[in-house]
Structures are given as structure tokens and as C-alpha cells.
Amino acid sequence: MGCISNKSKSRLETTKPTEKPISNIVTPLYENPPIKHIERKPNKHKNPNTDAIPGKEKSVQEAQTAEILLKEKTPKEYEQISKSLSAHFLFNSLSDENIKAVVDEIKLYILGPKEVVFTQGSPGMNFYIVALGRCEVIVNGKTKKLLSKGEQFGELALLHDSPRTATVVTVEKTMLWVLSREAFRNAIQSINNKKHEENKQFIANIPIFHSFSPAQKDILLSMIVTHDFNDGQKIVSEGDPGDLLYFIKKGTVICTKSGQEIRKLWPGDFFGEQALLYDTTRTATVTAMGKVTLLSLGRDDLTVALGSHLQHIIYRNSQRIAIEKSSVLKVLTKTQVEGIIDTMEIACYKTGQSVLGRGAPKSQKMLIVLKGSLKFGNRTIGLYSCIGDEEIQRNSTENWEDNWIAETDSDIAILVKEDLERVIGGHLGKVASQNEVLSVLRRVQLLRSLPMLKLENLVCALKIYEYNDGQTIFQEGDIGDAFYIVKEGQVEIFKAEVSIRIITRHDFFGERSIIQNENRTATVIARGKAVCWSLSKKDFLSLIDEGIRKQLTKRMELQNDQCQLSDLVVVKLLGRGMFGNVFLTYNTQTKVFYALKTVQRNKISAFDIYDNLVLERKILLQVDHPLIIKLVKTFKDDRRVYFLMEFVQGMDLFDALRELGLLNNESSRFYIACLMLIFEHLHERSIIYRDLKPENVMVDPEGYPKLIDFGTAKILKQRTFTMVGTPHYMAPEIIKGTGYNLSADVWSIGIMLYEFVCGCVPFGEEEEDTFKIYGKILERNLKYPNYMSSTRCKPIIEKMLDTNPAMRGTVESLKDHPWFIGISWDALLGKQLKPPYVPKAENFVSSLQKILKGSKSFAEVIQHYEDEESFNDSGKSLNKIPPSNWDEEF
């Protein structure tokens, strides 16, 4: 494990074989799947083969001589197997339903004496429980242990196909209960998917949760408890304290008041919602009719999870929905929206009570209906409706010609015009227009990474210009001195007097001119009347400091889609991998260094990684962040596919930590805050990384971390079950196989923070046995060494390392944690804060000069390194037909 102390440790890595993640890093790649023990030397560059990589399912079977008995298990056998499973950490957190599903998949194997169950070094496939007889455990030819009835072995195979560490042979006639990895994972996944969907339906059926965000609904899902009741059993009694909301999953219940039946409830119905909202006592007795299964949510749990009173959360969510539905408010920024919600006052009105009187100015107040409905003449305005927003925007001087009346008991959020303008920073119409431009600026690739404050300053510097039909805005060859956004109308782009395209509202052009001293490469002419926002180069440079200007210049260099393989020369090999190599290359045309990953087609076929390469490319094209490695372009030829990447000089964070030792509070906060920005960018795009660790973070020449290696990343549509990552950093839900989501990355960030301040990981630090590491993680016995460098970060560590994924919070919400008070997120994003450590940059000038004088071609150099490898694809790619047009976008 990567301890900061001056000692060698090992890190172990694994992935489940079916997903076949592939690395794309600029630093070296990977070696032997699926478990690697990598010796860590203090103050040495890391072993190049450190990435989580795929294993492949092997065709070799275990216990090949066994007779497999397919029979119904007796109640006694079922009880014995369940008891044996429940004693093991892999199973003891599973529900009874999960245990039953697993036991149903277990088969009985019968072997004679001296028969081999499996051999040392072979890929693990099954988990075994001795039902009768004895087995001998042999390591390197020596007997280490005898296993008898009830004892278990081979459990690591349930997680991945790591090589067996021993040979197991029967001593006498033996019967084994056997569970395969595939059956285990499928059983758990099937049950948990079914349960997850049922719980989602529960949430969807409760009106008070309709306004909840997806993240808030995930929290609710994690809090649901299942209850079983027998016929005649009381579920709640009239007059009892109310603290649970119930949803009927199966069966029927009868509700009585003072002994009289008032109604029956069926599957899909719910009761007790008032208990969550108002802490009231039960107004009726609810009794089970026959067997009943209920789902419940508790008020106390929700208060802990959501951090506030439920009614308050519901109203804030309702205000957000109303603002999003408003045609004039939906363009406000998140900060402005939250400011409005914080400032609005909530008033309660009884049925028939006047909310706004006839004759009141239309632009005086803005109202949002949070509960109930309002009537205005013949119109009825319901939940999530906004009143007065449009009138405030256009500065209406009219008065309401009728009364706004509460049609039912209603709760209304109210904000006067003066407070609205104070919160958003000006007149609603002007601010909405500025935000409209701001949203366009955030789409400009060159400006996308700028801090929000800088973007807002740029908006204020924009000027509006009007052009008549046929008027030239600028001409090919002119000196570039401004950037333009089309506000209204259309403009046409010409190159060498040939029309290239027509661009319309919110399209932009000329952005490179504000950074580079370039002449215009095209002519732009207005088509019809056109109105453009324009930002001059002079104004831009006056608002952007030198550090950000350099950063933008570098980002522009990485947008060179004109680069061709023929423009590159290979300077040196950066790393070898199972699937390809990474080279430092130099563009002889632009004088820029790049990293080039090459992946041989015979290996793509042999390891069946077509989909992985396509996904890797897709993910890398989606991310554009100054703290994430950038993909410049991909290429292909008849021998390889290529990824041209940003070259990140410096050292990986693992080695930087060895230089720094234990980090103090400020240094830890710097790196974790950077990770928060990185993962906020990824999670906004539903990208889960799944292998965060110091080795996958480079420290660049400016001292800022940069995330590399997206070989295990995935775009999440729902929960995923794949066993992937590096054991010490894995979240418990990944190990248990019950399904996980983006919060698994939050756990890894928590592990990193603990490692920063304690010099070691919190779970399994001294363990090199993968299975023991998993056990320590599931135990979650979180302790801190007495030499811990800072204790101020303990609360956020414990939050991120909560075993309940929903309780960890999202990256976005964690940015508001008290530990981050004082962090300027914009300054961090603009690389304006002083980093704890700046590595020395290697000079490649002499190496480059030799290469440029050399006679070997680009292709010859790459082929030379490939020829040094011992890879033999004989038989591996036979009869394998590549998917049709799989590489068409490379």
C-alpha cells in the first residue's frame, strides 16, 4: 500500500473480467491481470505497471472430476448453508432475500479420495463449503491445512478470477457445496435490482417526494426499511407518536378510528405522511389483513440524511421547480436561484383568503405556490406556479384587475421586487440577458475552464453591434482583435470566397483572436439584420491575468485538430502496457509536446477491447477541465489506433507525497479541493471514475493535480455492479456487489484525505492479501493514529467514509462543508492559489535534438518497441470478427 513513511509496501489491483477497462494514461500503463503485487520503493518513480486492468474469463473448470448432484435442498441443508454463509463477511450484510437467492444457486459436488478441486496458480472460479469429508490445502507442494465439515475455502473467486494461492485435494470421499462467481453475482444483482425498482416506485408514488432531486431520491432509497406483519397484527395505533411513513408493498391493511372501519388500503397505497411533515400523533389504527409487507421511511433518519426539516426541503425543492419552469427566471445562475430561495418568505393562507388584492401593482411582488392553489377570476394557478415574474421583468406599470384568492389552504413563497433585484444583482431583464450570454460563454471551449467570476466580468465587458444585410463583420486576412456571439439574426462564413456555413443565435466565432496574434482565416458577412455581442482583445486581456492567459494559450494548443501522425516524431517511450505503449512525441509543425498512446489491432482483437476503446474515447471527448488530462485527437491505420493526449510533465501524487511527508490541514485541503472540482466536472456528466488513488493523479509543473488514466471510467445510466478498482480505495458497496453509483468515488476521495494526514490508508494498511483488505473495508473500524497531522478534517473524512453511500453527500454538496470555508473555488480553478509542492520539470531539449537528427521514422520507432515485446496472438484472435465499423470515429 502506498504509505508515505519510508518503507516499501505493495498495492493490489483488480477488475472484474466482463467489463475489460483499458488505461489511457500518459504515465506508464499496466502489466498482468487481474491482481498485481507492486513493490513500492521510497523516493523512486513508481513501477510503470500500476493500473487496474481487465482479466479474461478462463475456460478451465474447477473440480473437473466431480459428480454434480442436482437436488432440492432439505430444510436442514438450507439452514446449515445459510448459517455458514452468514458467518462470513461477504454475506453477513446481505438480506434474507439475498441469502435465499444465493443458497438457491449452490450446487452439490461429489468427489472421491485424492481428487483435485483446483490447483495453485489456476484462475479462481468457485466458492466451496465442505458438506462431508475432508480436503487438504497444499502450498508449494507442502500441506498447510486440513478442511473438514462446515469449513469454507475459495471465497476470493466470488469477487474476481485471481489466481489460486494453493492446491486443494480431497483426502477421502467428499461432498462440497459449490457457488460459482457468475451465479453469486447474478443472484445478488437480480434481487437488488428488483428491490431497487420497487423502492423507486414507492418514492414515485408519494406526492410529497415529487419535488425531490435525483440525489435526494437516492438518499430516500437508502433509508427504506422493509417490515413484515401477520394477520391481525397492529401496525400503528391511534394516538401513538407518528414518525414513520408506510407504503404497502404486499397485502391489505384496514384503518379504524374509535373501533370503526374508515377504509382499506391496498398495494401501492401509503399512510403516515403527516408524521413525516408535522410530527403529529396517529389519527387511526392500522391493522394487517393477512400477511402484509410494508416499506417505511423514518423522520429522524431523513432529518439526519437531508440535514433539515423535511417540510423545509420540500418547499425549497418546490421553489426550484417553479423557477426552472419560469420562462424569465430559468436563465438565472444557481447562486442567484439559491439567493432568491433564501430570501423568499413563506406565508400560509386559509381557503378564501386574499393573497394579492385588486389594484396591487403587478410588478411589486413575485409569488410561488408551494401548497394548495390560487384563483384569479376564472383561472386556477396550482403547485409550482410563479406569479409576477414576467411583470417584474418588463417593469409593468399595470395593476391587478382582480383578487388572487386561496382556493384551498395554501402556502405561498413571496419576494418583493426590491429584494429580488438586490439578490440577483440588478434588474431582472438585464440580469437575464447577461446570464444568456454567460451560458454561451460557458460553451466556448477556449473559455470553458475560466472561473465563474472571470466569465461574469467578461459579460460586463461585452458590447453590442448591429449589422445590416450584406455588411462585412471582418474579412479573411484581417488582424483578429475581437470575439463575437450572435445575439439575433444570422451571419455567413466564407473561406477563399466559398461559403462554409451559416451560424445563428448563440453561435460564436473569432474566439482564437483574443489569445493568439492570428490573422482572420475566414470572412464573416451578415445575412439579413444581425446583432452581435463583441468582446475586444484589449478588454479581454485587461480582465484576465497572466497566469490564466498562459493557461488558455496552452488549452488552445491542445485544440489542434489539424495535427497528423506525419507531423509527429517520437522522443522517448513513457510506458509499456498490456494493450499498447505510450510515447512522448513532438509536433514538428507547432513545436508542442504530446503523449501518444498506441494500441495494436492484434491486441484489440485478442483481448476483445473494441467497446472499451470506443467508450474511452467517448468519455475523454466529454471532459474538458484544466485539472483533467485532455484528449487532443485520435488516429487509426491498418496496424493500430492512436490517442494523442496532453503531455503532463511532473510526477505522480504518490511520489509527491513521499517528498512532502504527512500533509498539514492547508495542504490536504488544497489537493482535496482540487479533486472536488475534478469530480464535480465528471459527475455532472454522469461519469464515474472508479479508480482514484495517488498514482492516477499527476502533479503538473505548476504544482496542480491532474487526473489521468480513464481506463476504468464509465458513463452511468443507473447503478452498476462491476467489480473494478484498487482494493484499498474501493467503497464497500463495490465489494458487496449490491450495486453502486457516483458516491463510490466520494469514498475514494475520503480514503485519499485520510492518507494525506495519516500517511497510510484507513483499512487494511498492513494487509497485502486482497481478501483481508476487503474484510477490513467492510468492517469499517475507522481509527486515527496519534501522530495524525491534522484533526480538523475528521468530520469530513467520516462523512465521506460513511458505509451508507447516500449519507456521504455529493461532491457538489461537500464543497459547502465547513472544512472548505475560506477556499476560493474560482481562484483554485484559475490556478491562482499557491500549491504545496512544485516538482522539477524534465528537460527534453537534448533528447529532441538527437531525435530530429536521427534517421528512424515515426513508424520504425514504434515498431521497434513493439518488436521487443513477447506478445503472441497465435490462436487468441482466430475466428474473431471485429464489430462492424467499430473504429469509424477514430
CATH number for position 91: 2.60.120.10
Say which residues have a Cβ less than 8 Å from residue 176's Cβ, sequence separation at least 6. 63, 66, 108, 109, 110, 111, 117, 128, 129, 130, 131, 135
Q: Supply 699's cell numbers.
A: 502533479
- Tens digits of residue pLDDT in 590-645: 888 999 999 999 888 888 888 889 999 999 988 888 899 999 999 999 899 999 99
For the ranges 122-136, 212-226, 352-366, 817-831, the lowest mean pLDDT is seen at 212-226
Residue 412 lies in a domain: yes
**33-68 b/e (C-beta count within 10 Å ≥ 16 → b):** bbbbebebeeeeebebbbbbbbbbeeeeebbeebee
Q: What angle do CA 797, 801, 807 make, to 5 degrees?
A: 105
Beta bridge partners of 468: none
414 pLDDT band (50/70/90 cuts)? very high
Q: Supply 106's cell numbers.
A: 449452490
Query: What does the pLDDT read at residue 131?
Result: 93
Identify the DSSP state of 158.
Answer: G
Same domain, yes or no: 699 and 819: yes
Average pLDDT value for residue range 516-523: 86
Strand pairing category for 482-495 and 523-536: antiparallel
815 is in an annotated binding site: no
Residue 42 lies in a domain: no
Average pLDDT value for residue range 791-814: 92
The burial class, CB within 10 Å (0-12 / 13-18 / 19+), for 401 is exposed
3-class SS at 646?
A: strand
Same domain, yes or no: 408 and 521: no
Tell me: pLDDT of 360 over 70: yes
- First-to-final CA distance of the chain: 37
Same domain, yes or no: 743 and 723: yes
Percent of the chain with pLDDT over 90: 45
- Tens digits of residue pLDDT in 703-761: 999 999 888 899 998 889 888 889 999 999 999 888 899 999 999 999 999 999 999 99
Tell me: pLDDT of 779 over 70: yes
Query: What does the pLDDT read at residue 22?
Result: 32
pTM of the model: 0.78
Residue 12 lies in a domain: no
Q: Which domain holds residue 210?
A: 206-306
Rounded distance between C-alpha atoms, residue 626 and residue 623, angstroms: 10
Tell me: pLDDT of 359 over 50: yes
Same domain, yes or no: 775 and 689: yes
Query: What does the pLDDT read at residue 100?
Result: 87
Tell me: pLDDT of 404 over 50: yes
Query: What does the pLDDT read at residue 38?
Result: 27
- Tens digits of residue pLDDT in 530-589: 999 998 988 888 888 777 777 777 777 777 677 889 899 999 888 887 778 999 999 988
Q: E strands along 133-181, which residues?
A: 135-139, 142-147, 152-153, 167-170, 174-180
Give the domain CATH number at 638: 3.30.200.20
Tell me: pLDDT of 478 over 80: yes
- Tens digits of residue pLDDT in 646-677: 999 888 899 999 999 999 999 999 999 999 99
Average pLDDT value for residue range 135-143: 94
- Tens digits of residue pLDDT in 40-81: 333 333 333 333 433 333 334 899 999 998 878 888 898 888
Same domain, yes or no: 576 and 498: no
Q: E strands along 537-691, which residues?
A: 568-576, 580-587, 592-600, 631-636, 640-646, 651-652, 687-688
Average pLDDT value for residue range 841-850: 78
Average pLDDT value for residue range 351-373: 93
Backbone dihedral angles phi then psi of residue 13, each to the nearest 5 degrees: -135, 150
Average pLDDT value for residue range 442-466: 81
The burial class, CB within 10 Å (0-12 / 13-18 / 19+), for 163 is middle
Q: Report the candidate in 418, 413, 414 with the shortest Cα–Cα distance to residue 428.
A: 418
Tell me: pLDDT of 163 over 60: yes
Same domain, yes or no: 637 and 712: no
Query: What does the pLDDT read at residue 596?
Result: 94
- Tens digits of residue pLDDT in 199-251: 888 888 888 888 888 878 888 888 888 889 999 999 999 888 888 889 898 99
Rounded distance between C-alpha atoms, residue 473 and residue 792, angstroms: 57
Q: Report the candidate in 720, 717, 733, 728 with the shortest Cα–Cα distance to residue 755.
A: 728
Same domain, yes or no: 349 and 384: yes
Same domain, yes or no: 745 and 821: yes
The burial class, CB within 10 Å (0-12 / 13-18 / 19+), for 200 is middle
Tell me the range of 237-251, 785-799, 821-835 where mean pLDDT is highest.
Answer: 785-799
159 pLDDT band (50/70/90 cuts)? confident
Same domain, yes or no: 737 and 716: yes
Q: Assess whether 231 carries a catalytic annotation.
A: no
Query: What does the pLDDT read at residue 510?
Result: 86
Say which residue the cell 464497500 belongs to.
Answer: 732
Residue 459 lies in a domain: no
Q: Supply 561's cell numbers.
A: 485538430
Backbone dihedral angles phi then psi of residue 174, each to the nearest 5 degrees: -135, 140
Same domain, yes or no: 690 and 785: yes
Write the DSSP assignment of 475-500 as a string of letters. -TTSBP-EEEEEEEEEEEEEETTEEE
Query: What does the pLDDT read at residue 107?
Result: 92
Same domain, yes or no: 85 and 170: yes
Tell me: pLDDT of 24 over 80: no
Tell me the range of 82-86, 315-319, 403-407, 481-485 where mean pLDDT is highest.
Answer: 403-407
* Dmax (CA) of the chain: 99
**Residues composing the chain:** 890
Query: What does the pLDDT read at residue 17?
Result: 32
Q: E strands along 350-495, which residues?
A: 354-356, 365-371, 374-376, 379-381, 386-387, 404-406, 410-416, 463-467, 472-474, 482-495
Query: What does the pLDDT read at residue 598?
Result: 94
Q: Of 242, 276, 306, which residue constitutes the final position of a domain?
A: 306
- Could you tell me the CA-to-CA distances from 384 to 321, 322, 334, 372, 373 in Å, in that order? 6, 4, 18, 10, 10
Q: What is the identity of the amino acid at 784?
A: Y
* Number of domain units in the chain: 6
Query: What does the pLDDT read at residue 171?
Result: 95
Residue 80 lies in a domain: yes
Query: What does the pLDDT read at residue 47?
Result: 33
Query: What does the pLDDT read at residue 398?
Result: 94
Catalytic residue among 691, 700, 709, 802: 691
Residue 146 lies in a domain: yes
Q: What is the identity of the amino acid at 74?
A: T
**Where are the alpha helices (H) located in 623-718, listed in sequence order?**
653-660, 665-684
Same domain, yes or no: 154 and 182: yes
Residue 130 lies in a domain: yes
Q: Give the chain's mean pLDDT.
A: 85
Residue 30 lies in a domain: no
The answer to whether 749 touches 672, Cβ cutoff 8 Å, is yes
For the ranges 14-28, 157-171, 453-467, 492-506, the lowest mean pLDDT is seen at 14-28
Give the domain CATH number at 796: 1.10.510.10
For the chain, the 3-state helix, strand and coil shares in percent, each to the nearest 5, are 35, 25, 40
